[in-house]
Amino acid sequence: MFNSNWSTEQIERELALKFSALMGSRATDQKGDQLYNGRAESFAQDIGAVLSKMSEALEDQSLFRSEIRSLRDEVAELRKERKASEEMYQRQLGELEQQIHELRKVAAARSGAGDLNFPSNEFLSSPLVICSEGEYLGVQGKGRKHFTLKDFVHLIERKVSDSMSVETSWKEQGGAWVLVVRTSDAKKERQQDIVLVSKKTITPSNNVVTEIVRLNIDGNDAPDALLLTLFRQLKSVFNG
């Protein structure tokens, strides 16, 4: 500036202007840095809070998964125990039924009646059906298990109580088996006689079944519509 013949006053004003501009620029930069640093710090705090919550959620999720695995293992063990109990029950029931069958044979032999007073286990265990308009209808339960005459007898015997007595008897008649059931309700002072006539049948599909050919209740034969209603009710009970 001196080489350009500027006066001292001009040089002072020029320097003052340049210095003022420089200081303003630095102040602006510092303010921007402070704002950026503040936002960065706030962002870092927010990210830290989110990461902390995510970490807690992951820990809870891990605990939940561990509990779910434990519950699944417990349920699997209970199912295993239940299956084993059911198998043991069925095995014991089969043994008892076989013993009863043998005792009936002995009793029949001693009475001279032979072994014709009780149907075979095959007959009792075959699917129980009715024939409606040429179509054979039965009841199928869980695990594709069919409702049988044995199950029907068990349902009747389950009605036995302190006030209810149930008597059952079998006889063979004309190639069919006749089940006579007499129930007596002491509270209602009522008796009921049920006669169920069934026979072995081979369906067009070559399936061996036990067909109900007649159901008589207190001297009245049940119509087909009543048998259909009965089988619908048996289906709900059998699958319950």
Query: Mean pLDDT of all residues in the chain?
Result: 78
At 25, the pLDDT band (50, 70, 90 cuts) reads low
Q: For position 115, what pLDDT does the model report?
A: 46
For 124, residues 6+ apart whose C-beta sits below 8 A from its C-beta are 148, 149, 150, 153, 210
Per-residue tokens: 227:
């048998």
**Closest to 168 (Cα-Cα) out of 47, 177, 17, 57:** 177
Q: Which residue has the higher pLDDT, 213 or 99?
A: 213
Beta pairing class for 208-217 and 128-132: parallel
Is the pTM for the entire model greater than 0.85? no
At 228, the pLDDT band (50, 70, 90 cuts) reads confident
Q: In angstroms, what CA-CA distances link 37 with 73, 76, 175?
A: 53, 57, 101
Residue spans per domain, the chain: 1-115, 121-238
**Which of 129-138, 162-171, 176-185 is predicted most confidently?**
176-185
Encode pLDDT of 108-146 as tens digits. Answer: 555 554 444 678 888 888 999 988 878 888 887 666 678
Residues paired with residue 68 on neighbouring β-strands, in sequence order:
none
Percent of the chain with pLDDT over 70: 75
At 84, the pLDDT band (50, 70, 90 cuts) reads confident
